[in-house]
Chain A
Amino acid sequence: MTHDEVQDLLGAYALDAVDDDERALVEDHLAECPRCRAEVHDHREVAALLAHGGQDAPEGIWDRIVGSLEEAPPALRLAPMAIPDPTADGTTSTGVNPLSASRRAPRRVVAALAAAAAVAIVAVLGVQVRQQNEQIDDLQVALDDPLSAAYSSALTDPASKVIELTSADGATRLRGALADDGVGYLRADELPELPDDRTYQLWGAAGDELVSLGVLGADPGIVSFPAAAYELFAITEEAAPGVVTSANPPVVAGSTA
């Protein structure tokens, strides 16, 4: 369907007055045409004004909603952070410090994110976190950690990709691997331990989406996370128990080398 043909349908589409085939065609086009997307949103705002019934919803619905919420509490839900745009003033002091090999992609991501800072993209993701006793040294952490074997095999598998997350000053370097099956592993034990009311939080970015991959706790060891959809990773420090969106600069950031 051409742009013009889709345009003709936008009014009907916005009112759900197209059939399923047309809807699919329009949505394909909308995915790549911001102008048509904007038009649909305009139409829906107008429709919303027409819709208003000026009445209250009947009593009892809210109670049923609350009842449903308690039956199925969400397990884990996190969202993207807004990170400062390091290109805004020509410096990179507050922004992501990507590896040199992958500088281009993160810049694009960061710029897109800055533009969409208010957007709340939320994902339901599981993350396994293994917290370690602070007194054990790094080597022991790696050996004792229940994820150690999986981490080692991911790191040595030629099919997996190596990731490195570094701090802006280069002093902190975390290594990890993205296994072929989409699971990422990161040795985060080099991060300084935080007070109890603070936590590290891991974020992943793909395109203009930035999604929390998990709350790592105050003193993380090896962590595993769903990595398949992401190119850029960052860790921030947040108030416990973690945040939905963050304005904090990353403690470390990086992507697949």
Chain B
Amino acid sequence: MKTRIALAATGVVVGLWGLWLMLDNVDLPALIRLPLWLGGAVLADDFFLVPLTLVVGWLVTRWSLGPDRHRTVTAVRTTFLYVGLTTLIAIPLLLRQGQGANPTVLPRDYLRDWLLLEATIIAGGLTVFLLQRSRFTLRKSRASSGDIGGR
């Protein structure tokens, strides 16, 4: 219990120090708008990103109920997740493409690179998917040919 009280007390002091820094260094009009951005960050997380992953996760789980699909659902789910995540991070780069402060900021062709990245992720997912499926069908065909245990 002592550890917890010490941790909590330190936390409150450190947090208040941060708050003081904020009040001291940021002027009033900006301070007033800051909570809107903080709230916006929470809303974006809790009412968009997480529900989106939940809905996609639910759809993938439902899809996986079909025959044999549970063998390959990992590849499907991971591919969706990685495509979504990298796209989320790529959004600011895509939005600001060509508007860098100077030509050395955002120098890439981000649209091409993003498409290449997603294609790579999907190709990787597809490879795993096909490998897993072929391994499964192979085992099944061997088993059905009387080779018990798939050996």
- Does chain A bind chain B? no
Question: Which A residues have a C-beta under 8 Å from some C-beta of B?
Answer: none
